[in-house]
Structure 1
Amino acid sequence: MGQRSEAPYQAGLRHAVRSYSFQTLTALGLMSMLLAGCQGTGNSGLTTVDLAQASSQNIGSLTAVIQANPRDPQGYNVRGSAYGKAGRYKDALKDFDTALQLNPNFYQAYSNRALIYRYMGDNAKAIADYSRALQINPQYDAAYIGRGNVYRLAGRLDQAMADFNRAIEQDTTNGRAYHNRGLIYQARGQHKQAIEDFSTALSLQSTAPEPYNGRGISYVALGDYDNAFDDFNAAINLDNRLAESWANQALVYEQRGERDKASKSYMRAVQLDPNYKPAKDGLARTR
């Protein structure tokens, strides 16, 4: 919501990895394991408020503002975003509904509500709200990005690509437009274009680990393991709690024949996410 969207980058292409040696893995198998951690999205879209504002104390403060100005739709929009950050989706929907009753042309509230619908698994309502936001304001880049991500995760890549292109045509400064378009290029095997988009995303949001993981995967696909390794390490340095970053690093160690280091990185990935199959399979290979 606001100028960003899903924090998530949820896993999209999870392929089983057989337990034979790394040297026998095909390039497709390697890409499948890496892509398992790169295709997702999270809840960073609720950016009308900072994450800290999702605390009970700050939600209470926002409630006091609403009580003082009950006819101001912006107050409900901001508190709805805070509820969304806190995972209180039903409360968030109520606030966005109220904001839109007070101002039916509040396109940001439509976009924010769309993201909540997406988190709740109602993609049809999410797309309808993003589309309504764009009817009101055809230049609203956040809605193109949000709707494009719903399309991308549903496998509707042509529609997703069109939305990301529209956001980029608006001169968006939101790195997610480039990151998500890069994921589509990557899925289509267009890795040079993917690397360009991931690099642009990093120039716009240099503290996000996901574009580093994405670019690293495309470097692997092109056989550039040194640059891939640098990117996976950068992702870990930015956020050492992402299992896929450790598993990606481990794959490069494994490719280099450094099985002990690979095993340690796979172990770290499994500790972070015991259900992350690429890490579990990698650990089984390198123990």
Structure 2
Amino acid sequence: MKLSGAVLFFAGLALAGCQTGPASTDLIRLDRAQGSEQNIASLSAVIAANPQDPEGYNVRGSAYGRAGDFRRALDDFNRAIQLNPRLYQAYANRALVYRNMGKPSEAVNDYNTALQINPNYDVALIGRGNIYRQAGRTNEAFNDFNKAIQQETTDGRAWHNRGLIYQLRGQHAQAIEDFSKAISLSPSSPEPYNGRGVSYVALNDDDNAFADFNHAIELNDKLAESWANQALVYERKGDMARAYKSYSHAVRLDPNYKPAQDGAARTRGNSGT
């Protein structure tokens, strides 16, 4: 089966690229060290010695969140807010837990409260912007990311996510600039490499795209998106055997990842397998 030109190739690749980032750059990543029983026990000892200090609950709540214990995390953030209703960091932390729990409305409410207290808090701007972006409210999302950048945030997610919106708008030169800035701030994160690679493909710069996708795989070889993106460059080059192999690997990593499913189906017949 032959594809009908670069537009179809990029349509698939854009889908792969635009599915990066939302979850992977803003959701809680489980962290065994921060969420360990020993760490939480030491934080609990601090709280026992200073039970009226909201910061202790805020820090332990973050540790519970890293451990995936969202119920206890919420309890701690609620207590921190009860002790200090103007602790904007606790609202933003609780918002992230709500987002992980699939409660975006509650998350936005908390981000709004954090920003009412501190309008320049980059964590809340980026967090709220991500929820807006996933909801298709791209102009509001862009404004949040833009404001965080204007506040000179050092959080690469602001540039990465604004880059995704530029990409969605077809402004690939601006997207590449933003992804490059995100990479300079977070060089160990594979997501902006995938994002930049997608925009390179849109500009028919397959060599730079391929380098970015390969580097994303080097940083984390467990992301289906990276393998599917690599496969699409192989497919553009007509190397269906390698394309099918990479698509198939992506499907094994994430059986529900549609760009990988579709790519494997497209290349199977021409892969020699």
Aligned equivalent of 1:277, options 258, 268, 272 = 258
Q: CA deviation at 1:224?
A: 0.8
CA distance in structure 2 between the partners assigned to 1:250 and 1:144 by the alignment: 35
> In the alignment, which residue of structure 2 is the partner of 1:40?
22
Residue of structure 1 equivalent to 2:228: 247
In the TM superposition, what are the counterparts of 1:137-176 in structure 2 within 5 Å?
Answer: 137-176=118-157
Equivalent residue, structure 2, for 1:224: 205
CA distance in 2, matches of 1:43, 1:229: 22
Counterpart residue number, 1:93? 74
- Higher mean displacement: 254-263 or 233-242: 254-263
Partner in structure 2 of residue 13 of structure 1: none
Percentage of identical aligned residues = 61
Judge conservation of contact 1:253–1:262 (CA < 8 Å) in 2: yes
Number of the residue aligned with 1:11: none
Name the CA distance, whole Å, in 1 between partners of 2:46 and 2:229: 46
Match of 2:158 in 1: 177
| Deviation digits for residues 83-138 of structure 1 (CA, Å, limit 9, x no counterpart) | 11122111111100000111111110011011111122222221111111111112
Query: How many residues align structurally?
Result: 267
Per mean C-alpha deviation after superposition, the further-off stretch among 271-280 and 211-220 is 271-280
TM-score by length of structure 1 reads 0.87
CA spacing shift, 1:139–1:81, aligned 2, 3 Å: same
| Residue equivalent to 1:17 | none
> Matched residues in 2 for 1:36 and 1:143: separation?
22
SS at match of 2:188: coil
Contact 2:176 2:196 in 1 (8 A): yes
1:261 partner amino acid: R
Structure 2's unaligned 5+ residue stretches are 269-273
1:265 corresponds, among 225, 246, 261, to: 246
The 2-side partners of 1:66 and 1:119 are apart by: 25
Could you tell which deviates more after superposition, 71-80 or 174-183?
71-80
- Aligned equivalents of 1:136, 1:204: Cα separation in 2: 27
Q: Which residue of 1 aligns with 2:44?
A: 63
1:176 maps to a residue whose letter is: R
| Residue pair 2:94, 2:107 contacting (<8 A) in 1 also | yes
Report the counterpart of residue 215 of structure 2 in structure 1.
234
Structure 2 counterpart of 1:9: none
User: Residues 31 and 67 of structure 2 are in contact (CA less than 8 Å); yes or no, is this contact kept in structure 1?
Assistant: no
What does the per-residue CA deviation read over 1:172-219, in whole Å, with 9 as the maximum and x for residues that have no partner?
000000000001111111111111100010111111000000000011
Aligned to 2:11: 29
Distance 1:45 1:277, change over 3 A: closer
Instruction: Quote the Cα distance in structure 1 between the aligned partners of 2:116 and 2:108.
Output: 12
- One-letter code of the match for 1:286? T
Aligned to 1:14: none
8 Å contact kept, 1:46–1:81: no
Inter-CA distance 275–50: structure 2 relative to 1 (3 Å threshold): closer
Q: Give the corresponding residue for 1:130.
A: 111
Aligned counterparts of 1:201 and 1:127: Cα–Cα separation in 2: 24
Deviation sequence 1:236-278 (CA, Å, 0-9, x none):
0100000010010011011111112112211211111112121
What is the RMSD of the two structures over their aligned residues, measured on CA atoms? 1.9
Residue type of the partner of 2:24? Answer: G
Moved over 6 A (4+): none
Higher mean Cα deviation, 66-75 or 234-243?
A: 66-75
Within the candidate set 83, 88, 92, 1:102 is matched to 83
In structure 2, the residue matched to 1:114 is 95
Task: Name which of 176, 179, 183 aligns with 1:195.
Answer: 176
C-alpha distance in structure 1 between counterparts of 2:131 and 2:49, whole Å: 36
Could you tell me which amino acid in structure 2 is paired with residue 187 of structure 1?
L
Q: Work out the CA distance in 1 between the residues paired with 2:24 and 2:208.
A: 26
Alpha carbons of structure 1 residues 76 and 127: separation in structure 2 relative to 1, 3 Å: same
More divergent stretch after superposition (114-123 vs 194-203): 114-123
The residue number in structure 2 matching 1:207 is 188
